[in-house]
Structure 1
């Protein structure tokens, strides 16, 4: 069975909204603002993760965002990302933007369970896609959470796990500094009461 990994850039208070400042959020642009000299160290973490991944899983908006930026890029990292099989969860599109992608139009739980158990081996990595992440966590399909924590508290904005239903027990697997200002955290998602082993770890 594949391992489903959530991989996100977040602020210290868990905000993931508008990191590049393109959506009009009052505190948008925090990604670039706090990247500074740590860009190379951060990119190294992301590239290593891409090399280890077997597939990517995205929501519709994230597919468009990444596809527009990576489709025409070249180099080791873009080449790796562009070559990976990608699965886009959407009921409204028929053609994804990012190359080498397949649209998943059915029930999210059924489609992702099928990916994990029948289609993909290794790691399926989810980038951005906040609403999809929340659904996957609530449905017990996530095995691991990896966070690059940016050194800023915004105080408002959409949070990665904002609105989550119920407890989600985690176990810290690794913690390390990245560059001068970031922390990379890796958590295993533990089974919760009522977990369904056929789906994943926690419900």
Structure 2
């Protein structure tokens, strides 16, 4: 399975507490719920189909607990996200949870990178991560993420946890981009390895040229 990450972020890259103030008020963050005013039909048209290729989920402990309070109560068979989340396997790396009642949950307590590599080696389409910012940062540092699915909202927060803090340098190839009437932009990026570097210089005739550093 390929490992995909779906993340909501502000224009300045903040991912903390997007859906409500109670989600993650750590470090005094008081701007929770910043995505709600921008949610429209276009949002669902972009984010909804991202669930289609899910064959399993990998969720951080905090995100898992928030989802487990909500999704088991959504029973509409036409809701693809609910159907997938309620029926497919869910893997949760944790050192604190000892049991979980949400159907299909498996707790992981070993080496994160090794356990995720084993999950990725199984047959299937996508092992999906939703939210789970700190988990995603660990996966990015281990270069285990194959695809980023980012929803960027037209708001600048100036504070809060950011997605790409403390990760290793990487290059990503744009595979798809769409936008909504409310100004939300959905990007899909595929992992392309370490970044290529270069420089800009002026040639003998006074023209700028790009020079590949490799």
Does TM-score exceed 0.5, indicating one fold?
yes
Which bracket does the TM-score occupy, shorter chain normalised? 0.7 to 0.9
Identify the residue that residue 145 of structure 1 maps to in structure 2.
148
Tell me how far apart the structure 2 counterparts of residues 51 and 83 of structure 1 sit (CA, whole Å): 13
Q: Which has the larger radius of gyration?
A: 2
- SS of structure 1 residue aligned to 2:143: coil
TM superposition shift of 1:65: 0.4
Identify the residue that residue 172 of structure 1 maps to in structure 2.
174
- SS of structure 1 residue aligned to 2:138: helix
Identify the residue that residue 201 of structure 1 maps to in structure 2.
none
Q: Which runs of 5+ in 2 are unaligned?
A: 196-214
Identify the residue that residue 5 of structure 1 maps to in structure 2.
4
**Structure 1 runs of 4+ off > 6 angstroms?**
none
Q: Map Cα deviations across residues 3-55 of structure 1 (whole Å, 9 max, x no partner).
A: 100101111111001111114322221021332xx1x2222333312122111
TM superposition shift of 1:158: 0.4
Tell me how far apart the structure 1 counterparts of residues 126 and 66 of structure 2 sit (CA, whole Å): 22
Tell me how far apart the structure 2 counterparts of residues 99 and 14 of structure 1 sit (CA, whole Å): 33
Q: 2:134 aligns with which of 131, 136, 140?
A: 131
Give the count of matched residue pairs: 187
Relative to structure 1, the CA distance from residue 171 to residue 96 in structure 2 (aligned partners, 3 Å threshold; closer, same or farther) is same
Tell me how far apart the structure 1 counterparts of residues 59 and 151 of structure 2 sit (CA, whole Å): 18
* TM-score (structure 2 length as normaliser): 0.82
Q: Which runs of 5+ in 1 are unaligned?
A: 194-203
Relative to structure 1, the CA distance from residue 120 to residue 129 in structure 2 (aligned partners, 3 Å threshold; closer, same or farther) is farther
- SS of structure 2 residue aligned to 1:71: helix
